[in-house]
Structure 1
């Protein structure tokens, strides 16, 4: 009986590890997009951020709007994705971004085919 239990636990552990690896690989592109976008808008690389956006969304939020929103933002040095949901070519990711001085913002992103179609960075860490 103990042997069967150990085998069952081993199988569950292997399946869990495989599932984690698959989900991490599937979400890698979306995670990279969120990291790159967050870093770009907070460091003034607004053209780079627009390049990561869906073309239709970029019409709604052009470079000038990003400059208005993020003009006083502190640069984020770390971005951590804590949850993601992927359904076909849509992805919803959440996490946090932190500045050098410890200010933390919550991140919520919507992506379509690894292109940003919606985002929220709140509260925005701004230069005093």
Structure 2
């Protein structure tokens, strides 16, 4: 009985590790999109951010609107994704972005086929 229990625990551990690896690889593109977008808008690389957006969403949020939204934002240097949910080709990611001086903002992103279709970065870390 003890041997069966140990085998079951071992199998569960292997399955858990494999599941983590698979989820990490599946979410890698979406995580990178969020990281690149967050850094782009905070460093005034609005064209780079626009390239990561779904074309229809980019029409709703053109470069001028991004500039208005992120004027005087401190550059984020660290982006951490803490929550990832995928359903078909839609993904929802949440996490945090941090500046070099320790200011932290919450991130919430919606992606469609690894393209940004909605986002919230709050509160923005702004220069005084």
For the criterion TM > 0.5, the same-fold answer is yes
Cα deviation code 1:82-117 (max 9, x no counterpart): 001001110000000000000000000000000000
Q: CA deviation at 1:71?
A: 1.1
Which residue is equivalent to 1:29? Answer: 29
Match of 1:61 in 2: 61
1:76 positional shift: 0.3
Partner of 1:82: 82
Q: Secondary structure at the match of 2:81?
A: strand
Match of 1:94 in 2: 94
Q: Does 2:117 correspond to 1:117?
A: yes
Extract unaligned runs of 5+ from structure 1.
none
- Structure 2 length normalisation: TM-score? 0.99
Q: Which consecutive unaligned segments of at least 5 residues does structure 2 have?
A: none
Distance 1:124 1:62 in 2: 19
CA offsets per residue over residues 46-98 of structure 1, 9 Å max, x none?
00000000000000000000001111100001000000100111000000000
Q: Which residue of the partner structure matches residue 51 of structure 2?
A: 51
Q: CA RMSD in A?
A: 0.4
Equivalent-residue separation in structure 2 for 1:6 and 1:24 (angstroms): 27
Distance (Å, rounded) in 2 between the aligned partners of 1:101 and 1:27: 28
Following superposition, the deviation at residue 2 of structure 1 comes to 1.3
Q: TM-score, normalised by structure 1?
A: 0.99
Aligned to 2:104: 104
- Classify the secondary structure of the residue corresponding to 1:35: helix
